[in-house]
Structure 1
Amino acid sequence: MRIFWTFFWSFLLVHMLTYVVSSMTEGASYNFAQGSISAVVVTVLILIVTSIIPNEPVQKH
């Protein structure tokens, strides 16, 4: 379920970012495929980063 919600929010936010940037760039058009591929890449990067970060509390010395 965690992977689904990560992909869902990444998909929405990356498509929003792709739309806004393409609207602000002169001569560019919105590309759904580019946004979808970017959303998958962002999802994979988020899942990798969250698996690398330790979950245990830091011990005080």
Structure 2
Amino acid sequence: MQIADMALYLSKTNGRNQVYLVNDLKVPYEQAESLLYSDLGRAIEQELVEITIEYGPGGRVN
């Protein structure tokens, strides 16, 4: 639930009309665990997780 909550928060802070979906880990769970629960944005920047950004009708809105 914590990871899903952070993904929704990232969606809100990076613009409206979008949602971040965490698809998969690119590294072993143990390597990504601390960032997954504390700073999902940094885990994404460090390419520890695979994400998809889905935009709502009308595309991206900032």
Asked if TM exceeds 0.5, the reply is no
In terms of Rg, which structure is larger?
A: 1
Higher share of residues assigned helix? 1
Higher share of residues assigned strand? 2
What is the TM-score when the length of structure 2 is the normalising length?
A: 0.34
- Higher relative CO (CA 8 A, sep ≥ 6), structure 1 or 2? 2
